[in-house]
Structure 1
Amino acid sequence: MFWSVSAAPMTTLALLGLFLVFTRSTATMDEENNIQMIEHHIIGVSGMKETKQMAFIHIPYPSYCDSADKYRSIDGSCNNLLKLQWGMLGRPFRRFLPQSYDDGVSKPRFFQRDGRILPSARLVSTNCHSEGNEGELRDHNLSLLFMQWGQFVDHDITATAEEEEVEDCCEGLLPDGKHNHYHTGGPCFPIPIPKTDPHFKRKCMDFLRSMPDEKGHKSHREQMNMITAYMDASQIYGSSVKEMNDLRTFNLGLLRTSASNQLPRGKNIHRPCKNETEAPNCLTSGDVRVNEVPGLTGLHTLFHKLHNRIVRILKRLNQHWNDEHLFQEARKINGAILQHITYKHWLPIVLGPGGMRQSRISWRYRYQPTLRAEVFNSFATAAFRFGHSLVPREFKTSVSDHTLVDTMFFRPYFLKVNNSRGLYSIMDGMVSRPCSRPDRFLTTGLTNHLYETIVPPMDLAARNVQRGRDHGLPPYSQYRRLLRRGSPRVQLSRKCLETYNNNYDEVDLFVGGLTEKPYNGGVVGPTFGFIIGQQFYNLKNGDRFWYENKNYRTRLTAEQLRYIKRMTLSRVMCDVLDLEAIQQNAFRMVSKSNPKVRCSDSSIPYLDLSAWKD
């Protein structure tokens, strides 16, 4: 997850105080429908004392799929006609390397191989990722929108559920930094805070382990992906029929909106937004993390509105189309635009030209039904959290040009102020301000003030390290050996290496991967580049409904595909926000090679929907 807190930036910002109870069938293709209740508590930050309301979503595993279906399912099922469940929500993560639990089965990494205790994740964060003002240095080539798009994409493909908190985990912390749940298999895995900590004065940071998949893995603990793995715009439309239906009007294919054409208000489920007089309620979308930060909410709003814009044009072109036809076709177009922007304009910056070639992502799409397009644990829990280093301390909003990120968590208020012109201000700030430099440093807004608007402040880097240990991710050195790069010699600071007792072989994957220098012309190093590249290759070539597919039932026509391939995020912003001008590539700052042009300029082509006229 890009920058959420549950399992990946989720980390990488994550799933907070939310409870969804999914009911799914345990039936396989050869069995009868055997319905069993499975409770999945999606709660990204432990220690929250919130009312826990639950939504019941029925998600049966399919026993039959119709290969003639024109549109992808909402829950990811039936994409692969050989393995009907591949890519569905609730599926276990995959692994590049065998799990590295202390007991080989389920106990989180707490000890080094020599028997000494691993350093506290908070101490690792302080000594490896938080030095001076390094986390505030800007990359004057990349815009904030480059950073924010990563989180938006992450919430389309990864989400990890935490176990339910049954007690205050910090109350059970033992003198050696261990919790008795380490021995009993309970949910608590708190992060000890050293007495000498430069910021926190409490002894512990609450932390819950991720919920295990108790059905699919008998040999060891494995975590689950709680949304569809495919890049299918699930962050806009949801990963279940119930989520999708709650967002639909069932009238002319439109999605629901609230006052001033904003996202609909939260319904039937409590979301822990900061209560403000001007905006007391959270907003809702296809992913429960929509309210984490205003920039993320802004992208949700942008593509929510784009759906309705597409629907209205399609209706004018095809008066005979009914609600279902309009909705599904607009969903297909919206999803295709998201895929194209990500793979054509965003990933080449992440991986660089060399990384795109090395991962084969730049190769022509070729569907491979034996390719499992599901998410790697190391991707969700470490590699795709590289974006945390891109987050700056200050943002431009309608309230101030220097709004601290500390004050923005779970406050959709920033989009609603000034007669809902807040959306324009947030998105304008995203394209006009640079993101932080891609390196090993995180802003103190994330390491000392994470989510302090609604809970006791936490440390995102520490949570990333602790989550990797919770998931049994092997140390960084083992991934380097997987890549046949020999003994790792990343440029860890002396202070950071001493934290690990000068033992490279115990360095956590997040720490080592984030410390590597950019590689192949991208913004990530070789280890994270390999993991991210393999993941996105699989998501593309393992998706039967990929926008470039050639199947006569599911494909776009040649003319439709040509128009989709002209789309840019700048064009989306022009159309939805009624802008007059914007830079050609919204992921990069304005420059001589990326000038600001009028929205009517031919360098930002329109999406001509006349290609969809019957």
Structure 2
Amino acid sequence: MGPREAAGAGTAPARPDSAERQAADRTPTGHAPPAARSGPQRGGGPAAKPVTGAGYRRSRFWALYDALAGLLDRRFGWDRLPTPLGLAVLVGIRNRLRKRNLHDPGRLPSVGPPRPAPGPGDPRVRRTADGSCNDLDHPSMGMAGTRFGRNVPLDSAYAEPPGRIMTPNPRLVSRRLMTRTRFQPAGSLNVLAAAWLQFMIRDWFSHGRSPSEDPWTIPLEPDDDWPAPPMTIPRIPADTTRPPGYDGPVTSLNTVSHWWDLSLVYGSSAEEQRAARTGADGKLRLRSRGTRPMAGGEADPAMEPGFWLGLVMLHTLFTREHNAICDRLRAEYPGWGDDELFERARLVNAALVAKIHTVEWTPAVISHPTAVIGLRANWWGLASERISRALGRLGGGEVVSGIPGSPTDHFGVPYSLTEEFVAVYRMHPLIPDEYGLRSLGDDSPIRRYTLRELSGPAALEVASAVSAADLLYSFGTEHPGAIVLNNFPRLLQEFERPDGRLMDLAATDILRCRELGVPRYNEFRRLLHLPPARSFEALAGDPGLAAALREVYRDRLEDVDLTVGMFAERRPEGFAFSDTAFRVFILMASRRLNSDRFFTADYAERIYTRAGLDWIADNTMASVLLRHHPELRPALRGVGNGFAPWHRAGGAG
């Protein structure tokens, strides 16, 4: 039984007022700001300029609608209602989140924020390298180097104090609750789904390089066999735009563009973009070492932490896709030069990736029928793909014909990705520890590798030695791990960075949320208008797991970390991750489309061309794979979603 049932049928715990909440709820978790922090710095900065969307659905009708949706969700759960009613409830849930869970740290004091630099070309008709000028009235919105936003009120976004941040010890949480005791597969997915997520995450956000000095030192238990004591975890890089003496809510910077612009392939700076391009026909370099520089200039991408074979495979695939789009556009518009072809192909490629994630990857990972319809409606609208493609847009709004082509809307808050969005996407259990590479032709084994043997510079060696089709086939026919407790990859609990430093990424995930002011599990649920877990037994749904949670957290339910709670809770039918994470997802997944003019007001033929829009509409993950590797056709025949398990060659099981 999950937290919803534990709260009691039809009732939600009464929300205390702000003062009571600080005394009762947040004090145990260390998030109540000290009295000394109650001065003007907690919001005393200059107010941001108003943006579109202020007053979103504030009428009495919508207030009643949202209240009824919340009541039905608490009483029954959106996922247990008939599909039409469940969809209506999800609309109300998203309305409430849009109105109450978008908060702008840009209003806090700031010095020297990044400013857009003049670049080549007209920003009205192209994406800039750093993400600036997406909103032409607010050019720095969402650009590289700007702050992460928040989905919780800024008063709840303080870093935990020094004595509290190690309670309980993150390494203890990792060893007792995260360690993979046996591999628990996600049987409805293939390993490409795990690789895709990292491909997206590296595009969406990065806190940048952590400083080498003054790391966190993690105490070790006497029986801990950590090979390089003491254990240290680097701190999050400082927000360089905070003024001296700042003592307010946590703010941090996203070093890549916040927009869904495929910056992993194209770069988030003019220097990266120049390094990626050939300078002819709009095309990107296909490097012998597998991928473009990802850290700027000619830096070796294989020396970036987190670089592995899955990233190489997808980066190469969508570099090839960009070049194929260039060929199509050049055939259609033979007079276009290198820059024009590059910019238009980039728009098409980025939109295709956003579409694949919206209507294929996400429905594969959260395959509840109601959620699948809602996710596809984000792109195609409730009118369905068939009607939208046959008749075009029916009206201006997003409900009937989808977000692409609808008006741009920031919902009253300048757009950014959020720290809570980062937190709920910490899904390392998807990654297996071992990989059996096999031949596409007859399913015969090539070699078995550990994750460590496929990471860093070794990934490029494997990519050179094994054909891309065999690699894709191997990933497409194996399962990733389930996102649950006791299923964290052991090789990520002793992860060797390219610089030789060892890290426990499970302990790091726990510490990062505490360091970045992301509330712990129960308080996080309250702030997302969800009932908290009432007991360890209700949270875990299993007596043994409940006992382990109780022991690690010393009977303090309010101490349970967000990641731990999400991995423990009951998941809706078909979901690979938690309903708690889903709340952030339904808010932010559509927002990334709604706020981006290249997916809304400028998702039009005058920007993309007719050929470009048709390319986006006509293609799927499977068609991209088959365009560049037609030999995969037998493995993909009849597979409706490229992230579902493929057919094994020769009928192998």
Cα drift, residue 545 of structure 1? 0.4
> Secondary structure of 1:375's partner?
coil
Cα drift, residue 521 of structure 1? 3.4
Corresponding residue for residue 318 of structure 1: 333
Work out which of the residue numbers 52, 56, 81 in structure 1 matches 2:136: 81
> Secondary structure of 1:570's partner?
helix
Cα drift, residue 401 of structure 1? 3.8
Corresponding residue for residue 645 of structure 2: 589
Work out which of the residue numbers 431, 437, 440 in structure 2 matches 1:397: 437
From the CA coordinates, give the structure whose radius of gyration is larger.
2
Corresponding residue for residue 505 of structure 2: 460
User: Does residue 1:192 correspond to 2:219, yes or no?
Assistant: yes
Corresponding residue for residue 415 of structure 2: 373
Question: Do the aligned residues in 2 keep the contact of 1:157 with 1:228 (CA within 8 Å)?
Answer: yes
Question: Do the aligned residues in 2 keep the contact of 1:406 with 1:452 (CA within 8 Å)?
Answer: no
User: Does residue 1:137 correspond to 2:163, yes or no?
Assistant: no
Residues 454-499 of structure 1, C-alpha deviations (whole Å, 9 max, x = no match): 5243221111001112112111111111233323142053112211
Normalising by structure 1, what TM-score?
Answer: 0.72
Distance 1:319 1:131, change over 3 A: closer
Work out which of the residue numbers 265, 268, 285 in structure 2 matches 1:256: 285
Q: Find the aligned partners of 1:368 and 1:88 in 2 and give their Cα distance.
A: 17
Residues 255-289 of structure 1, C-alpha deviations (whole Å, 9 max, x = no match): 123349x435788554484xxxxxxxx7xxxxx66
Cα drift, residue 322 of structure 1? 0.7
Residues 510-554 of structure 1, C-alpha deviations (whole Å, 9 max, x = no match): 111122222263221111111122111110111100178555643
Number of aligned residues: 491
Amino acid at match of 1:207: I
> Secondary structure of 2:211's partner?
coil
Corresponding residue for residue 213 of structure 1: 239
Residues 36-71 of structure 1, C-alpha deviations (whole Å, 9 max, x = no match): xxxxxxxxxxxxxxxxxxxxxx97436999997211
Cα drift, residue 424 of structure 1? 2.8
Corresponding residue for residue 408 of structure 1: 454
Question: Do the aligned residues in 2 keep the contact of 1:249 with 1:255 (CA within 8 Å)?
Answer: yes
> Secondary structure of 1:403's partner?
strand
Question: Do the aligned residues in 2 keep the contact of 1:272 with 1:454 (CA within 8 Å)?
Answer: no
Corresponding residue for residue 40 of structure 1: none
Q: Find the aligned partners of 1:483 and 1:106 in 2 and give their Cα distance.
A: 19
Corresponding residue for residue 120 of structure 1: 169
> Which moves more between the two structures, 405-414 or 241-250?
405-414
Cα drift, residue 150 of structure 1? 0.8
Question: Do the aligned residues in 2 keep the contact of 1:88 with 1:229 (CA within 8 Å)?
Answer: yes
Residues 391-438 of structure 1, C-alpha deviations (whole Å, 9 max, x = no match): 1111133795421113222123344433xx443332221111111223
Q: Find the aligned partners of 1:138 and 1:106 in 2 and give their Cα distance.
A: 35
Distance 1:509 1:302, change over 3 A: same
Q: Find the aligned partners of 1:459 and 1:501 in 2 and give their Cα distance.
A: 22
Cα drift, residue 292 of structure 1? 1.0
Q: Choose between structure 1 and 2: higher helix proportion.
A: 2
> Secondary structure of 1:435's partner?
coil
Question: Do the aligned residues in 1 keep the contact of 2:364 with 2:644 (CA within 8 Å)?
Answer: no
Amino acid at match of 1:478: E
> Secondary structure of 1:224's partner?
coil
Corresponding residue for residue 230 of structure 2: 204
User: Does residue 1:575 correspond to 2:616, yes or no?
Assistant: no
Question: Do the aligned residues in 2 keep the contact of 1:477 with 1:487 (CA within 8 Å)?
Answer: yes
Corresponding residue for residue 285 of structure 1: none
Corresponding residue for residue 242 of structure 1: 271
Question: Do the aligned residues in 1 keep the contact of 2:272 with 2:297 (CA within 8 Å)?
Answer: no
Q: Find the aligned partners of 1:69 and 1:453 in 2 and give their Cα distance.
A: 40
Amino acid at match of 1:385: R
Q: Find the aligned partners of 2:433 and 2:551 in 1 and give their Cα distance.
A: 28
Question: Do the aligned residues in 1 keep the contact of 2:180 with 2:490 (CA within 8 Å)?
Answer: no
Which structure 1 segments of 5+ residues have no match? 1-27, 31-57, 167-186, 274-281, 283-287, 598-614
> Secondary structure of 2:327's partner?
helix
Residues 294-350 of structure 1, C-alpha deviations (whole Å, 9 max, x = no match): 011110011112212222333334321111111112112211210111111012233
Question: Do the aligned residues in 1 keep the contact of 2:204 with 2:258 (CA within 8 Å)?
Answer: yes
Distance 1:515 1:470, change over 3 A: same
User: Does residue 1:469 correspond to 2:499, yes or no?
Assistant: no
User: Does residue 1:537 correspond to 2:590, yes or no?
Assistant: yes
> Secondary structure of 1:385's partner?
coil
Question: Do the aligned residues in 2 keep the contact of 1:416 with 1:422 (CA within 8 Å)?
Answer: yes
Corresponding residue for residue 8 of structure 2: none
Corresponding residue for residue 390 of structure 2: none
- Over the aligned positions, Cα root-mean-square deviation in angstroms equals 3.4
> Which moves more between the two structures, 574-583 or 351-360?
351-360
Distance 1:306 1:98, change over 3 A: same
Q: Find the aligned partners of 2:208 and 2:435 in 1 and give their Cα distance.
A: 29
Work out which of the residue numbers 302, 305, 320 in structure 1 matches 2:320: 305
Which structure 2 segments of 5+ residues have no match? 1-46, 50-112, 380-398, 439-444
Amino acid at match of 2:554: N
Corresponding residue for residue 417 of structure 1: 464
Corresponding residue for residue 480 of structure 1: 525
> Which moves more between the two structures, 251-260 or 70-79?
251-260
Amino acid at match of 1:238: G
Q: Find the aligned partners of 1:574 and 1:312 in 2 and give their Cα distance.
A: 17
> Secondary structure of 1:481's partner?
helix
Q: Find the aligned partners of 1:265 and 1:229 in 2 and give their Cα distance.
A: 19
Work out which of the residue numbers 192, 211, 216 in structure 2 matches 1:164: 211
Q: Find the aligned partners of 1:100 and 1:127 in 2 and give their Cα distance.
A: 32
Question: Do the aligned residues in 2 keep the contact of 1:157 with 1:230 (CA within 8 Å)?
Answer: yes
> Secondary structure of 2:425's partner?
helix
User: Does residue 1:337 correspond to 2:366, yes or no?
Assistant: no
Question: Do the aligned residues in 2 keep the contact of 1:396 with 1:425 (CA within 8 Å)?
Answer: no
Distance 1:422 1:470, change over 3 A: farther
Distance 1:97 1:446, change over 3 A: farther
Question: Do the aligned residues in 2 keep the contact of 1:251 with 1:323 (CA within 8 Å)?
Answer: yes
% identity of equivalent residues: 23
Cα drift, residue 575 of structure 1? 1.4
Distance 1:455 1:480, change over 3 A: same
Normalising by structure 2, what TM-score?
Answer: 0.68
Residues 149-185 of structure 1, C-alpha deviations (whole Å, 9 max, x = no match): 111111111111244213xxxxxxxxxxxxxxxxxxx
Corresponding residue for residue 171 of structure 1: none
Q: Find the aligned partners of 2:518 and 2:321 in 1 and give their Cα distance.
A: 39
Question: Do the aligned residues in 2 keep the contact of 1:355 with 1:533 (CA within 8 Å)?
Answer: no
Distance 1:450 1:550, change over 3 A: closer
> Secondary structure of 1:498's partner?
helix
Amino acid at match of 1:473: V
Question: Do the aligned residues in 2 keep the contact of 1:393 with 1:444 (CA within 8 Å)?
Answer: yes
Distance 1:91 1:469, change over 3 A: same
Q: Find the aligned partners of 1:145 and 1:109 in 2 and give their Cα distance.
A: 39
Q: Choose between structure 1 and 2: higher strand proportion.
A: 1
